């Protein structure tokens, strides 16, 4: 029986790659949620140049990546893909719920699959450019607060429609997406809200759109403050985003 799959290839020549694969496999075996892509198998092999590699085979997700929905390529012109406010809220909540589960009900950040903090740090900076918490760039240890920072940037990105690596935007006005949104929050909140929301009836139905936008972005800011101990706990983000979702549902249903 044929089955579409997604394959992640890992270059084993990179220092720490083997340990990274083991950690990812252990995590995916132990964490099974409605929002995770299922790991079908892992394997090793040699490519046509004779280079060794390892591969993780995942269940194929037909709707594509979140990045493609946030920033559709030219091939989608004429049939523009867009996520409504309610859909984005559901994504924020699902991701936050998954993080809350990992932070409070499953793993200790001291070890992951037998790999200690020192070994994980030797792999390199943990995270993606634009989402990496400032303490990691200065050699700080992996922590739940670091996850919360990345989540906060992710929330701000999805609400503003601005990529955290948009250096042309941040060059003169701010250091990063957090600073950019924080400075505009009081006076120019609608200017930094994703313009596609203007076409979203759910968003237009809100009785106080600027205040709603401001409240949503404030949670992203509270998650992504520079000092780790000042960031909110992800469980609080889950509660507040759930309240925001319920408010939106009541508004759109005329209750």
Under 8 Å between Cβ of 95 and 35: yes
- Give 121-145 pLDDT, tens digit per residue: 333 445 677 888 999 888 888 889 9
Position 220 scores a pLDDT of 94
Position 167 scores a pLDDT of 60
Helix/strand/coil percent split, the chain, to 5: 55, 10, 35
Q: What angle is formed at CA 161 by the lines to CA 156 and CA 167, rounded to 5 degrees?
A: 85
Strands annotated E in the chain: 5-11, 39-46, 52-59, 111-112, 115-116
Average pLDDT per 10 consecutive residues for the chain, totaling 255 residues: 74 57 57 57 75 77 76 59 84 90 68 40 56 86 91 92 74 76 84 78 66 86 95 94 86 66
CATH superfamily for 72-252 is Transferase(Phosphotransferase) domain 1 (1.10.510.10)
Q: Does the predicted model carry a pTM greater than 0.85?
A: no
| Domain residue ranges of the chain, discontinuous segments joined by + | 5-59, 72-252
Q: Which of 244, 177, 203, 253 is nearest to 85 (CA)?
A: 203
d(Cα 213, Cα 198) in Å, to the nearest integer? 12
Position 251 scores a pLDDT of 74
CATH superfamily for 5-59 is Phosphorylase Kinase; domain 1 (3.30.200.20)
Under 8 Å between Cβ of 160 and 217: yes
Q: Which of 175, 133, 160 is nearest to 218 (CA)?
A: 160
């Amino acid at each position: 029986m044929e089955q579409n799959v997604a394959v992640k290839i890992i270059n084993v020549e990179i220092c720490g790659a083997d340990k990274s694969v083991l950690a990812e496999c252990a995590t995916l075996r132990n964490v099974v949620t409605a929002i995770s892509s299922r790991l079908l198998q892992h394997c090793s092999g040699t490519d046509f140049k004779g280079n060794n590699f390892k591969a993780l085979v995942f269940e194929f997700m037909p709707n594509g990546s979140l990045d493609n929905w946030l920033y559709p390529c030219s091939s989608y012109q004429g049939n523009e893909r867009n996520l409504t406010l309610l859909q984005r809220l559901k994504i924020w909540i699902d991701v936050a719920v998954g993080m809350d589960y990992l932070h409070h009900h499953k793993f200790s950040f001291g070890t992951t699959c037998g790999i200690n903090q020192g070994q994980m740090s030797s792999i390199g900076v943990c995270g993606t450019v634009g989402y990496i918490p400032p303490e990691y760039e200065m050699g700080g240890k992996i922590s739940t607060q670091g996850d919360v920072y990345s989540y906060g940037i992710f929330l701000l990105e999805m609400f503003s429609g601005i990529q955290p690596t948009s250096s042309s935007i941040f060059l003169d006005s701010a250091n990063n997406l957090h600073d950019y949104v924080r400075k505009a929050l009081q006076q120019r909140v609608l200017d930094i809200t994703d313009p596609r929301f203007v076409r979203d009836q759910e968003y237009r139905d809100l009785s106080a759109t600027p205040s709603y936008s401001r409240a949503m972005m404030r949670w992203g800011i509270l998650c992504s403050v520079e000092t780790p101990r000042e960031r909110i706990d992800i469980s609080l983000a889950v509660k507040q985003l759930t309240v925001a979702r319920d408010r939106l549902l009541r508004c759109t249903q005329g209750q």
